[in-house]
Chains A and B, each alone.
Chain A
Amino acid sequence: MKYMLMMNTPGNGPYQIASWPHEDLVRHIQFMKSFAQKLTAAGEWVTGEGLSGPDQAKRVRAGHDGKPITDGVFPESKEFLAGYWIVQVDSAERAYQIAAEASAAPGKGGVPLNMPIEVREVMSEAPREWQE
């Protein structure tokens, strides 16, 4: 089973880590790196990416002529996708465990952020009757 773990941050302005002291910033980055290494070592890592900040985001819609209409910077959005992981695990419980670990990433002063991680199953299973 594959699960997508989505890390959300407050959506106004640049990422909060941009204003952290150096020590806290480095600790956070270290955590994220070793987190990825651990998932890889466990054979659970599928993919994961960090996304550029809210100030760089665009929302795109097709106009009547099919051409893109872009609209930028969303000060009103409360939450913003900052990055994601896709993991291959044996159970939903394991995915929740991994998400909890990510949630506790160290923040300012090394205090766990306990940020919300949205967990969704990726629809990659074969149809039932084709299995076996």
Chain B
Amino acid sequence: MAAPDAAILQQLRALAPEVLGILCRRTKDFAAAEDAVQEALVAAAQQWPVQGLPEHPRAWLVQVAARRLTDEVRMAIARRAREETVVSLVPAEQQVALAVDDGASTDDDSLALLFMCCHPSLSPASAIALTLRAVGGLTTAEIARAFLVPEATMAQRISRAKQAIKDSGVPFERPGPEAFAARLGAVMHVLYLMFSEGYAASSGDAVMRTDLSGEAIRVTRLLHRLVPDEPEVSGLLALLLLTDARRAARTGPAGELVPLDQQDRARWDRQAIGEGVALLDGALPKGRPGPYQLQAAVAALHDEAPAAAQTDWPQILALYQVLRDLSDNPMVDLNHAIATAMVHGPAAGLALLDQLATDARLAGTHRLDAVRAHLLERAGDLPGAMALYRRAASRTASTVERDYLLAHAARLHDGPR
């Protein structure tokens, strides 16, 4: 089998949600349609590089997937016939080919797909996997590599997610106006988590891993194209771009973590920063701020500072204050404490951390320890900082982060040279 080249793969992935949307509309059976499209994608990845691109790639995929579905229906009928001797009078071809053109565009279908895959009844991990396959057009093997689990495990996770959607009876359609905002929020949350998963992994031995951050940006771009007037979607896309722009500078030559204030800013992706800032400039004047726009604004302030020392911390602090009013998120509280320390000194930040220590979502986590260690170090309490860096190191589940925290503690232990 010839390996499909990057251009073909890209085209296939872009077509995947459109083809699946068409099939879903015809069959009303998401699970079966999704399987059929996956098989069509695999067939295309094998045949196109050898036989050349078909004249109408999308039509080709729809046809192959529909044929696959027809076969499925035939087999189901045969099974039923054997079991019950009741045979449908509708030919198998027509059972799936009864598509009536109800005027829905492929864009409507893609959006409906996204809403379905990111349905709140699914766990985030399942929603991410399903979105990658159904909307992103990735194979199960590629998704499994992203999560470092065996392919069979991932196949099972995806099929359970599809079953959950079936059981919940979610219709394949754009949600009504009253549910729209909440469901859009769920979609954005899944995409944000998909990005974070990839971003956290990008510092590890990542060569073989599927680029989840890149996939999250691609699907968020699609979402942004489908609902261009939603400022929070623009904000999310901006946030992902502005964060991803620092990716190359985020790890050192040996894969070690490089904190923001020590990164080589020349390695930041200026084009991504420009795009993110432009998105934000388009969204903020709409006067409907939200957590993604505000976090993107913080990221933009970091990205636009020529040097760490020139970061506009007062404005970042102001943004975190608005964010705190807007959302109940312990990570926002932590960042707010850091910004406070940067503006008003470490003691002010530490006082805020004392209040946060009672939050069950933060208590006992390595994040709280790491931030406190950092502020203690700035306040000159080196033994206290060292102990907390070590405790944070023993609590994190990330090897890269552990190495970073231990190295920090060891440096303090060694003392100034």
Residues of A within 8 A of B (CB): 14-15, 17-26, 29-30, 33, 36-37, 50, 52-53, 55-56
**6 A-B pairs, CB-CB below 8 angstroms?**
A14-B393, A21-B413, A23-B414, A25-B407, A37-B205, A52-B396
**In the complex the two chains form, what is the Cα distance from A91 to B248 in whole Å?**
41
Residue pair B395, A52 in contact (C-beta under 8 Å): yes
The 6 closest A-B pairs by CB, nearest first: A22-B410, A53-B394, A25-B410, A22-B411, A18-B390, A14-B394
**In the complex the two chains form, what is the Cα distance from A71 to B396 in whole Å?**
20
Residue pair A22, B407 in contact (C-beta under 8 Å): yes
Main secondary structure of the interface of B (DSSP, over half): helix
**In the complex the two chains form, what is the Cα distance from A37 to B414 in whole Å?**
29
Closest beta carbon of chain B to A100's beta carbon, Å: 23
Residue pair A18, B407 in contact (C-beta under 8 Å): no
Q: Is B100 located at the chain interface by the 8 A CB criterion?
A: no
Main secondary structure of the interface of A (DSSP, over half): helix
A24 (CB) vs chain B CBs: closest residue: B410
A15 (CB) vs chain B CBs: closest residue: B394
Q: Is B10 located at the chain interface by the 8 A CB criterion?
A: no
Residue pair B409, A18 in contact (C-beta under 8 Å): yes
Size class of the B contact interface (CB-based, 8 Å):
10 to 19
Residue pair A56, B409 in contact (C-beta under 8 Å): no
B412 (CB) vs chain A CBs: closest residue: A22
Residue pair A26, B394 in contact (C-beta under 8 Å): no
Residue pair B394, A56 in contact (C-beta under 8 Å): yes
- As a 0/1 sequence over residues 235 to 256 of chain B, the CB contacts with chain A under 8 angstroms (1 = contact) are 0000000000000000000110
Q: Is B266 located at the chain interface by the 8 A CB criterion?
A: no
Chain A residues near B159: list those with CB within 8 A: none
Q: Is B8 located at the chain interface by the 8 A CB criterion?
A: no
**In the complex the two chains form, what is the Cα distance from A24 to B414 in whole Å?**
11
Chain B residues near A56: list those with CB within 8 A: 394-395
Chain B residues near A19: list those with CB within 8 A: 390, 413
Known: A15-B394, A56-B395. A30 touches B413 (CB 8 A): no
Residue pair A52, B403 in contact (C-beta under 8 Å): no
Residue pair A29, B395 in contact (C-beta under 8 Å): no
The contact of B410 among A15, A20, A50, by CB within 8 Å, is A20
Residue pair B254, A33 in contact (C-beta under 8 Å): yes
B408 (CB) vs chain A CBs: closest residue: A22
Residue pair B394, A52 in contact (C-beta under 8 Å): yes
B409 (CB) vs chain A CBs: closest residue: A18
Q: Is B86 located at the chain interface by the 8 A CB criterion?
A: no
The contact of B403 among A23, A29, A36, A55, by CB within 8 Å, is A29
